[in-house]
Chain A
Amino acid sequence: MELLVASAVGMMTACGVYLTLRKRTFPVIVGLALLSYAVNVFIFASGRLAIGLPAIITSDAAGYTDPLTQALVLTAIVISFGMTALIVMMALGAFLETGDDYIGMEKDTLPQPTPPQEGKK
């Protein structure tokens, strides 16, 4: 299970980093979402992996799983979800204002040639 979780975190981080470095806003946002998934699993794993154990210590339980990381990951999920929603809205606003979803400023050279199948012109 450790191998599975570790490789899942690694894969998601690698894909997230790759997508975040793209030039258009949509892949960047997907990349950021992947990065936040990766970090959520990572936080969860930082309280040690335990299967089928309660989060609250009772006298008859065989052991317990760390409840604090579950609280932390919940906070992290809420925040990253809100942030992703916000960047989607901002990217949409920038797209509607400028007519393209290129992430650089206008002075930077646009990637040439522009794919003809996207947009009207």
Chain B
Amino acid sequence: MNHWIIAPVILPALLAPFIVLVMRHDLSLQRIFSTAGTAVLTAISLVLLYTASTNPPEVYFLGNWPAPFGIVLVLDRLSAMMIALTAVLALLVQLYAIGTNWDAHGKHFHALFQFQLMGICGAFLTGDAFNLFVFFEVLLIASYGLMIHGGGANRLKAGVQYVAYNLVGSTLFLFALASIYAVTGTLNMADLAVKVAELPAGDAALMRVGAVLLLLVFAVKGALVPLQFWLPATYSFAPGPVAALFAVMTKVGAYAVIRVYTLIFPPDTPSTGLLFADILLPAAIVTLIIGAIGVMGATGLARMVAFAAIGSMGTLFIAVAQFTPDALTAAFYYLVHSTLATAVLFLVVDLVQDRRGNDSLRAAAPPFGQHGLIAALFFGGTIAMAGMPPLSGFLGKLLVLDATRGPDMAMIWTAILVTSLITIIGFSRAGSQVFWKAHATTTTQARPEGKAEPLAFAVVFALLFALAALTILAGPVTDWLADTSAELFDRAAYINAVLPTAKE
């Protein structure tokens, strides 16, 4: 049994209380330990990524209890990829928070950050549905603290909405898990996969209720219409680096959908069939459209980026809703890309807010310090987000378009292409409002000072560099991702790894 599998959960779980208890009064010590912890987490996640890409799914039995009685963690290519993505993003975002002094605006930033990482990594690793709920709660409760970091009336109000929304989501999650448990008598994902396949016809109705409730919960997390209402206010009022880290939180919802609906309820399940694809596809298309309209209509930069994030979730779920290996490969590529692109944009918006004093798109403000440099970074980020060549957004959307050939092709292609155009127009409008019209203002106000924040700018450049690398290495990356989706569709390997005695 490979004990490194549990390291991404244990490391932040131990580091966070250590930071709270031992060094709560010393910010520089917190910064050193927390950054070192995240760096080690990144190293471990890269090692796990390498292990997972050479080995079949590996299982970690907690307390050495055999599945399905104990909780298991499962490392396969998908979970290794998600953890590596989280760790890399977290390291960069943390450096940004240190470089801009965001972590000094309130207490316990680093401890909450580590707890957040624990929850996210746990959610990606776990092979038990109830344990997934517990890790969702861990990541949520840390995100509540991070979201209101720095305080302020608007942020607190948006925070209350966010918590209330997610508490309803958690309640739904419990209803779903209880219905599934009532039918199958198990909550281990591999065991569920076996039990659901041999479910008697009489239990199919309750199973469908549980499965659709579960989809609703993941739709809340993944900001799928009509459950996306929490996202714009939360992301636009959260501190910039926190919003950038939250870019990976919506992906937890997408990951859960992919995991549960390929492993437990694959399209050939008699009790559920293609029910999910039929629900998911229209919702995803509407999500994409709402996101594009929001980008067009937003009155602030941060809100605009939040809507762009909703739109990218729409594109991602369109690919997921196909439930074919090709479409999942495209979905994974787009998932990695959109996480990085959303993070870049939130960080750039934070740089603008910090220098300009606000991010309003209604009134033109005079140029601020480092105007040209930030404008260039914004330009790069929006090119990636909108899906224009030469960055990875273009390739991601091409892959999605290519994978959605079929009966719904006309609708999907129209939606993706038209919303891309609307998003490009929305971004250009925002860019010219903030960066170009600034030169035309004739106020006599003093030009806001620029701040030399080399670390913060280096992080944004590093994220853009990662996007460029994702574009250049698109060939090898998609080959690797194709193997990943092939592994997802090979359910027997996963089930055999968890339940060595199972029939399948």
Task: Point out residues on A near B: beta carbons under 8 Å.
Answer: 20, 25, 28-29, 32, 35-36, 38-40, 42-43, 45-48, 68-69, 72, 75-76, 79-80, 82-84, 86-87, 90-91, 93-94, 97-98, 103-106
Q: Verify B157–A42 contact, CB threshold 8 A.
A: no
Task: Indicate with 1 or 0, residue by residue over B128-141, a CB within 8 angstroms of chain A CB atoms.
Answer: 00100010010001
18 pairs, CB–CB < 8 Å, chain A vs chain B = A20-B164, A20-B168, A32-B171, A36-B171, A45-B182, A46-B178, A47-B181, A68-B181, A72-B177, A75-B130, A75-B134, A76-B174, A83-B137, A83-B141, A86-B141, A86-B163, A94-B156, A97-B153
CB-nearest residue of chain B to A99 = B153
Q: Tell me which residues across on chain A come within 8 A of B167, comparing CB atoms.
A: 32, 35-36, 80, 83-84, 87
- A87 and B179 contact, CB distance less than 8 A: no
Known: A46-B179, A79-B137, A98-B157. A90 touches B152 (CB 8 A): no
**A75 proximity list for chain B (CB < 8 A):** 130, 134
| Secondary structure of the A contact surface, majority rule | helix
Once A42-B175, A83-B137 are accepted as A-B contacts, the answer to whether A90 and B168 lie under 8 Å apart by CB is: no
Q: Which residues of A contact B233 (CB under 8 A)?
A: 105
With contact pairs A42-B178, A105-B154 given, residues A83 and B160 touching in the complex (Cβ less than 8 Å): no
Residue from A32, A42, A48 in contact with B174 in the complex, judged by beta carbons closer than 8 Å: A42
The 4 closest A-B pairs by CB, nearest first: A46-B182, A94-B156, A46-B178, A97-B153
Would you call the interface of chain B mostly helix, strand, loop, or mixed?
helix
Q: Are A39 and B171 in contact (CB under 8 A)?
A: yes
Residue numbers in A under 8 Å from B160 (CB-CB): 25, 87, 90-91, 94, 103
Given A90-B144, A106-B154, also A83-B159 (CB < 8 A) = no
Does B478 sit at the interface, judged by CB under 8 A? no
Does B170 belong to the interface (CB within 8 Å)?
yes
Check A32 against B156 for contact (C-beta < 8 Å).
no
Residue B161 lies at the interface, judged by CB distance under 8 Å to chain A: yes
Q: Which residues of B contact A35 (CB under 8 A)?
A: 167-168, 171
**Would you call B72 an interface residue if the criterion is a C-beta within 8 Å of the partner chain's C-beta atoms?**
no
Contact A80 B157 (CB under 8 A): no
Contact status A79-B134, CB under 8 Å: yes
**Which of chain B's residues have a CB closer than 8 A to the CB of A98?**
153, 156-157
Residues of B within 8 A of A106 (CB): 153-154, 157
Q: Please state if A43 and B168 are interface contacts (CB–CB under 8 Å).
A: no
Q: Which residues of B contact A79 (CB under 8 A)?
A: 134, 137, 170
Is A43 within 8 A of B178, CB to CB?
yes
Collect the chain B residues with CB atoms within 8 Å of residue A32's CB: 164, 167-168, 171
Which residues of A lie under 8 Å from residue B153 when comparing CB positions?
94, 97-98, 106
Measured in the bound complex, the distance between the Cα atoms of B161 and A47 in whole Å is: 33
**A residues near B182, Cβ cutoff 8 Å:** 45-48
